[in-house]
Structure 1
Amino acid sequence: MDPVALHAALTALGTLPATGAWQPSVAYDPANPARVVAYAPYRLTHLPGVADAAGVCEAIEAFEAGRAGGDDGYRAARAAVASLIDEARARLSRQRAALEREHVDAAAIEAARLYGDLILAFQREIRPGQAVLAAPLDPDAPTIIALDPSLTPVENAERYYQRHRRARRAAAALPERLALVDAQIATLDQLATDAALAEDRPGIDVVHEALRVSGLLGRPLPRRTAGGSPGAGKPLTVVSDDGFTILVGRNSRQNEVVTFERAARGDVWLHARDVPGAHVVIKAAGRPVPDRTLREAAALAAWFSRARDRAVADVAVTDVRHVRRLRGGGPGMVTVARADTVTVSPAAPG
């Protein structure tokens, strides 16, 4: 391998994040020109049969279809969206880790204020150009305080007071910043579930579009469909054996509609516990809901969730008035003030 050529290729790759000059591409199997054997978000140069792709998603889909041994469009489309969601989740995980590293305990924050106080208390003992103050709070272990020799004692004290104020503000804001990242990660988890449970290609495209408009990927993402955003479809409507209408959101945007547009005072809201999934609403209007209908709706909530493959699943049940939008979350992301639990076996509609 030519080391000069290798260095040039690596240098070119390293400039892509700054220049944005990405060109997704695929490589076809020379023995089977219809089969894609490799893909990349940049132009492949080391393989034969290379062709540009319209986007990263299209490249991944073509590759996954080749791995499936045929034109498995749904599988490839899901894999492409899942890859993007994984990329966004990794980005948010790095953000969260960086925020956690910003944590400073209360003692360290208050130490900065204490240093300012001590500098002022012992300022008469500080000589011009002095770089360290050994404040004799404890004769056996004096408190050592670094000074800026170019500043006066009052200026050095103010420098520590400023540090104290900044640290307090940062510490106060940190929980909210962490909560925002957690809400965004929860949004990605819901989108991943939407993609896994999507029943057709338009359903998968809805997830791709939701990811695109969310901005959680941290980079531009082209539309998957021409002519505007794909429709989210209508929530599933089921009539229980007792005559109650049950609404089921089968993706994030449908969840938003079910909970905040179609539900009304006195309706019952359900969701599988501790996993992403559907919002389910029983249109009760304050009427008592028979146990049979409640369990039917709970089984649907479990089926349209990550708990689908479990033998039994816990489902939260509450009045819709206890459901609020999750601050910083995407469409359909909520918090629940209080809820009861019913345990059921997941069951498909019908």
Structure 2
Amino acid sequence: MAFDGIVVANLVYELKTELLNGRITKIAQPEPDELLLTVKSAAGQKRLYISASASLPLIYLTEENKPSPMTAPNFCMLLRKHINGGRIVNIWQPGLERILHFTIEHLDELGDLCQKELIVEIMGKHSNIIFCDAKGNIIDSIKHVSAQMSSVREVLPGRSYFIPDTMKKADPFCVSEEMFFSLLTEKAMPLSKAIYTSFTGISPTVAEEITFLCGIDSSIPAKELSGDVLHHLYNQFHIYLSDIKNNNFTPAIYYDGAEPTEFSSLPLTHFKNYSRREFSSICLVLETYYSLRNTLTRIRQKSADLRHIVQTALERNRKKYDLQLKQLKDTLNRDKYKIYGELIHTYGYNLEEGAKKLEALNYYTNEMVSIPLDAGKTPAENAQRYFDKYNKQKRTFEALSHLSQETKEEILYLESIQTALDIALTEEDLSEIKEELIRSGYMRRKFTRKKIKIKNQPLHYISSDGFHMYVGKNNLQNDELTFNFAVGNDWWFHTKDAPGSHVIVKSEGRELPDSTFEEAGRLAAYYSSMRGGKKVEIDYVEKKHVKKPKGGKPGFVVYYTNYSLIIDSDIRQITPAD
């Protein structure tokens, strides 16, 4: 995630618009490393959420309130004493650092006007919220950093505040062309890495974007580039950063299907494989992005037990299937023993007593064969021994053929549940998958007096030609869509020989255009184990030709006549229904 200096610059611009000259009316500390400031300004009452969490440092405006502890922490009480009722007179960013300064004007104990600085550092595990006086002395901080914790900078009351320059990075706004060349060419590393390690506020994603705009391979070291190419890179670098100086921000989130992958304040044109959604506010971007990411993370955590059950069953069935195939392979030569028995019956009348082998002509192939014999048995007994061996392997083959097919179907079924877990986005999705595992015997149903009803809807898209397309998120939904929701002339889509969702296109008695067939095929490819593939084979057929075999597992269908298409799994241009 690119929470870099550019995003902070966008935040500063936006917060100035919303909070400047506003009065702080309430200060709360919901968590040990969080602040929630309520500010009343000309734009109305706003809540500013600040988190110095090591795992998720954030700052944005929000409408949501959070419950506070009954007893306010010391840092919160200190801020209330000094700046509650204070006026925010300036919000600024030093250079392109991931730091925001809030200059707050307030009356001290004697009624004199004075200023304080609330400094928010968004620096990963080193994030902090620091409260300083007008001279830059630290009054207190939400996290104390002693000399034992950091040899670079102490963050303790009474110490002077300064920005540690540990990386020796240059200010991108002040760099000359000569210094630009020197910084990049002295580092024996790929060009994009040289850019983001040389300048403050530049993330790896932005460095990739700058090289992409220049048409330069980001993996080439800068020292291998000619002077003209470096000059072109320098100009593009400043053109890109000029949008920051002009406050020309375009906040957006980039999605891989339904999953948010990246956010930015400036366009990222090299993200060709992701869909882009613009927002009017960087605060809205951050709140939306991290809310979705938190939801997905929570869903993945809650699905861990289900995944373990499915994975354990898969491993067991795959081992069983491998053993069955090995045993089947051992029965491939069973006909040989039948022929041996026949040849002994045919040529064994002139065998000497105690013979250990029989040389005979195989009248099926006209080749001589050597048949091992048990010297202690008669020819008839030797022949019967081979017939018994043949019959045993024949029975084994017939039994294993049936069992291995069942095991293979079980593996495919478990893989389809695994795919459904990958698609799951809500707790309702997980509840439905859990119900399926209970019905299939992989989990036990816990006793409960109250019966839980699952009301979960399939995914719904609109084709570019206005046709409604529905995607099942799991096997139970697939069955419901195909056999209860769809009618005979609707079209059914599914990946060929791979687990995935059933996709239904409602035809409403009309003929589907080619573009709708392609879009439905892309949905079937994306919501399957073939997601990300550029050439995925899709079977499609009218729903009336899709049948449910007797005793078939959820989601399992058969069809005997179908069409096929090969399509990619890119659904960025397909519109989800509201």
TM-score range, shorter chain: 0.5 to 0.7
CA shift in 2, pair 1:119/1:299, >3 Å? closer
How far the C-alpha of 1:284 sits from its partner, in A, is: 1.9
Percent of aligned pairs with the same amino acid: 26
Matches within 5 A, 1:1-350: 73-104=298-329, 108-121=333-346, 122=348, 125=351, 127=353, 133-137=356-360, 142-146=370-374, 149=376, 153-215=379-441, 221-223=443-445, 226=448, 227=450, 231=454, 233-238=456-461, 240=463, 242-273=465-496, 275-284=498-507, 286-309=509-532, 315-325=538-548, 330-337=553-560, 338-341=562-565, 343-344=567-568, 345-347=570-572, 349-350=576-577
2:167 aligns with: none
Is the helix fraction higher in 1 or 2? 1
String of CA shifts for 1:290-330, please: whole Å, max 9, x gaps.
Answer: 33433443343344333445577554332224434478862
Check conservation: 1:272, 1:305, Cα contact below 8 A: yes
Check conservation: 1:246, 1:280, Cα contact below 8 A: yes
Structure 2 spans left out of the alignment, 5+ residues? 1-293, 362-367
TM-score when normalising by structure 2: 0.41
How far the C-alpha of 1:246 sits from its partner, in A, is: 2.8
String of CA shifts for 1:234-281, please: whole Å, max 9, x gaps.
Answer: 434555564544332111111011122322322211124554221111
Q: Hey, what's the Cα distance between the residues in 2 that align with 1:135 and 1:112?
A: 14
Check conservation: 2:303, 2:430, Cα contact below 8 A: yes
Q: Hey, what's the Cα distance between the residues in 1 that align with 2:384 and 2:359?
A: 20
Q: Which stretch of the first structure deviates more once superposed, 180-189 or 309-318?
A: 309-318
CA shift in 2, pair 1:301/1:125, >3 Å? closer
SS in 2 for 1:334: coil
How far the C-alpha of 1:152 sits from its partner, in A, is: 5.7
String of CA shifts for 1:14-36, please: whole Å, max 9, x gaps.
Answer: xxxxxxxxxxxxxxxxxxxxxxx
Check conservation: 1:184, 1:329, Cα contact below 8 A: no
Structure 1 spans left out of the alignment, 5+ residues? 1-68
Q: Which amino acid aligns with 2:540?
A: V
TM-score when normalising by structure 1: 0.64
Check conservation: 2:496, 2:537, Cα contact below 8 A: yes
SS in 1 for 2:576: coil
CA shift in 2, pair 1:107/1:136, >3 Å? farther
Q: Hey, what's the Cα distance between the residues in 1 that align with 2:420 and 2:407?
A: 20
CA shift in 2, pair 1:104/1:250, >3 Å? closer
Check conservation: 2:462, 2:576, Cα contact below 8 A: no
Q: Hey, what's the Cα distance between the residues in 1 that align with 2:464 and 2:447?
A: 39
Check conservation: 1:317, 1:342, Cα contact below 8 A: no
SS in 1 for 2:317: helix
Check conservation: 2:360, 2:370, Cα contact below 8 A: yes
Check conservation: 2:374, 2:382, Cα contact below 8 A: no
SS in 1 for 2:540: strand
How far the C-alpha of 1:89 sits from its partner, in A, is: 0.9
How far the C-alpha of 1:187 sits from its partner, in A, is: 0.8
SS in 2 for 1:137: strand
Q: Hey, what's the Cα distance between the residues in 2 that align with 1:115 and 1:273?
A: 44
How far the C-alpha of 1:108 sits from its partner, in A, is: 2.4
How many residues align structurally?
Answer: 272
Q: Hey, what's the Cα distance between the residues in 2 that align with 1:197 and 1:104?
A: 37
String of CA shifts for 1:22-61, please: whole Å, max 9, x gaps.
Answer: xxxxxxxxxxxxxxxxxxxxxxxxxxxxxxxxxxxxxxxx
Check conservation: 2:537, 2:564, Cα contact below 8 A: no
Q: Which amino acid aligns with 1:158?
A: Q
2:204 aligns with: none
1:55 aligns with: none
How far the C-alpha of 1:282 sits from its partner, in A, is: 1.5
How far the C-alpha of 1:162 sits from its partner, in A, is: 2.7
Q: Which amino acid aligns with 2:576?
A: P
Check conservation: 1:115, 1:157, Cα contact below 8 A: yes
Q: Hey, what's the Cα distance between the residues in 2 that align with 1:113 and 1:308?
A: 49
Q: Hey, what's the Cα distance between the residues in 2 that align with 1:208 and 1:247?
A: 22
